[in-house]
Amino acid sequence: MTWRPFDGGSTIGQHGSEDGEIVRDEEHEDEARITLERGGHTAPFAITCGIAGWMLHTRFFGSESEAQVEFEGMKEALARILATIPLTTDPAAETKSQAVTQLIAEVVERFP
């Protein structure tokens, strides 16, 4: 599955969680979302991403070009995490969940 515009793109131009204007907002069918905002209170640009039930992470940037590059890199990292999340019926779910937790920690460290 690839990423697609969140809510059909209807959120573009609205205010996001960092109180900036949403310029990109994408979702993955496996319940992940990533949003790029311009003009929030904390920094000129912010990326907020999350995976339902697993994580929420926000980063701040001084330039749009840097934020756009990082947005793409973070999407790839989120997709790797999503591919690791086990089904609840998986007999190895506990072990795989530990691997997911480790991947999340690595992503947060790689994308501080």
DSSP, res 42: S
Per-residue model confidence as pLDDT tens digits over 59-100: 999 999 999 999 999 999 999 999 999 998 999 999 999 999
Domain boundaries, position 103 = 4-110
Cα gap 52→32, rounded to integer Å: 6
- Number of structural domains found in the chain: 1
Structure pTM?
A: 0.93
Cα gap 86→99, rounded to integer Å: 10
